[in-house]
Each structure stands twice: as C-alpha cells, then as structure tokens.
Amino acid sequence: MKCNLIIKKSLKQFRFWIFLPCVLLCIACSVQNQVNRDDYKVIPKNFSGSFFDRLDTLQVQYSDKIFTTSFMKQISNIDNIQYSKPIQIHIKDTELFLSYEDIHAKHYVLKFYGKRYKNKFVFYTNYQTVSFPIIFITKEMTRYSIYLPNEKEIVFEEHNVNEGMLLIFGAGNSHKSDNKFKLLPNE
C-alpha cells in the first residue's frame, strides 16, 4: 500500500517536470513582439498603384566590397533595374502584377498568384518541402504579405522559414523584414 502511494506521488512529480519544460519551450519559441495590423486598410479587389524602389548599400566588415540590394532585386533576381522609373503594382482578385523596366528600357511584368485575407494579400515565391516520413523532412518557404497602412503607403512584409528534421532531432530558423514604400498619387 505504501509503495503504491510512493509510486503515485513520484509519477505526479515526473509529469510536472516533463510538462514544465514543454511549456517553457513553447513560450520561448513564440513571437513576442507582434505588430497589430488590425487597423490597416483592406486592399480593394482591383488595386493599382505605383512606387519607387530604394537601392540600399550593404558593406561587408573587413572587406572593401560594396553590395547593393532592393526589394525588386530580391524578388526578380535582376541586377539592372531602372530605379528612376516607378514600379507599377496591380492586384486583381487573386493575381498580383509587378511591372518595371531595366536600364536597357526592357519592360518586365512579374505575375504571382496569392490569396486575400482580412486586410492583406499573401503570395509565395518559394515553397519547397522534401519529405521521407519519420527519417528526414525539410521545408523552405518565402512568403510576402502586402498591407496598406493608409492611402499613401504600401508595405511588403517578407517572411522566410527554413526548417528540418532528422529522426527525432529538429532545427529551423525564420526571419521577417518589411519594405515600406510611399505610393505615388494617381495621375
């Protein structure tokens, strides 16, 4: 009888010490500082606008090399974008069109399919999953969300996720960045 009570007591303590680390891990892995975007405008069914892309300069520590990056450079993988001309954006139902020119006056149009949510338009440029169940799983994803904070601004939020699992061991990373642009007045 005494042995049975000791076993029950130790099982309760064991469950507590297993449950506590699980709760702490879930809290530690969650996003802590989310931005409230409930008051952003709803993107109309047929939205059109234009904006100028920014060319940002990146310097590498301990190197003389200088690199440049921009939103359109990331999304299109083209280096010779004409930054003196505006980027045109058109959203029609579930389709997004981004049109721009390069330095040789060649016109490009990128077409993406996405989904509308409450006050954003979401599309993916990369979504890869490799799976050998139980043994090996990897996932790579690049998601863009478009928001309209007001009538004069547009925000492209880039969210990258890389995850993997080998047997019972898993790891991953993710990062998020915003590209905020001023919309040009309609002519």
Write down the pTM of the prediction.
0.73
Tokens of 13: 């303590």
Q: What are the tens digits of pLDDT across the range 33-87? A: 566 667 788 888 898 988 888 877 766 777 777 676 778 888 888 888 888 888 8
Residue ranges per structural domain of the chain = 39-182
Average pLDDT (132-145) is: 87
DSSP string covering 124-163:
EEEEEEEEETTTEEEEEEEEEEEEEEETTEEEEEEEEEEE
Q: What are the tens digits of pLDDT across the range 86-138? A: 889 999 989 999 999 888 888 989 999 999 988 889 998 888 888 887 788 88
